[in-house]
Amino acid sequence: MTTKISTDRKREIIQGFYELAKEKGLENTSIAKIGKHLGMPPSLIMHYFPTREILISHLISFILKRLLKIYTPIIKELRVQNYTDPHTFVDRMFSRDWNLLIDDGVFYSCFSLIFRNDRIKKEYRNLHLKLRENLKEILDQDEKLKLKDTALLSEQIFVVVEGAYYYLSMIDDQDLYEEKVKIFKNQVYDLLKY
């Protein structure tokens, strides 16, 4: 069994890894730098994460767990009031909470690793499956969508959301950003219609 110290240290190291990757970029974040950032020798990091690959794999789990969290408050909300206005979750999907939750730069850097590492790919895939399942669960609560294929709908919605995030991350201008968000939100509402 792992001790409390062990789990705390591991958490601390991954957290520090994430912070540094957010600040300097994943490709510029070495084990020595993480150590300096946290005030510990690199050898201690390698005591808990024997290789860099293992370390990165844990960073990815950390990120994906966090991303999954954006839906738990909605789901909880649903359990209580038994209905949620579509605006609630569409707003949430396009809210800044995502960016607050996980830095886009770190996220896409980690994502690009799926092409060279099957375990990472599977982990990303599982996250997205869960996200879609969660969304389906939300949609299923909506009376007006009773006759629709909510599984298909959640796929279609997410593709818009993910494409939107990809595109929005290139836009610096605030006003333009908000304008685009409005467009893509409407695109999601259109999917919920008819």
Partner DNA sequence: AAATATATTGAACGATCATTCAATATTATA
Partner DNA sequence: TATAATATTGAATGATCGTTCAATATATTT
Q: How far is the CB of 44 from DNA (least distance, A)?
A: 4
Q: Contact with DNA (CB under 7 A): which of 11, 52, 66, 79?
A: 52
Q: Contact with DNA (CB under 7 A): which of 31, 60, 106, 110?
A: 31
Contact 34, 13 (CB under 8 A): yes
| Closest to 75 in 3D by CA, of 133, 157, 124, 143 | 133
Q: Contact with DNA (CB under 7 A): which of 22, 37, 40, 137?
A: 40
Distance CA 4, CA 18 (A): 21
- Which of the stretches 35-43, 77-85, 114-122, 179-187 binds DNA when contact is defined by CB under 7 A? 35-43
Environment class of residue 157 by beta-carbon count within 10 Å: exposed (0-12), middle (13-18) or buried (19+)?
Answer: buried
- Which of the stretches 48-56, 68-76, 96-104, 139-147 binds DNA when contact is defined by CB under 7 A? 48-56
- Which of the stretches 38-46, 121-129, 150-158, 183-191 binds DNA when contact is defined by CB under 7 A? 38-46
Nearer to a copy of itself, 86 or 105 (CB): 105
Site for DNA in 101-160 (CB under 7 A): none
Q: Is 15 in the site for DNA (CB under 7 A)?
A: no
**Alpha carbons within 13 A on the beta-carbon side of 136:** 14
Contact 124, 114 (CB under 8 A): yes
Task: For CA atoms 170, 172, 173, 174, give the dihedral sign.
Answer: positive
Q: Which does 9 bind (CB under 5 to 8 A by kind): a copy of itself, DNA, none?
A: DNA
Nearer to DNA, 1 or 147 (CB): 1
Q: Is 156 in the site for a copy of itself (CB under 8 A)?
A: yes
What's the start-to-end Cα distance of the chain, in Å? 55
Q: Contact with DNA (CB under 7 A): which of 15, 30, 95, 126?
A: 30
Q: Which two tokens stand for residue 110?
A: 């980690």
Nearer to DNA, 42 or 86 (CB): 42
Distance CA 121, CA 110 (A): 10
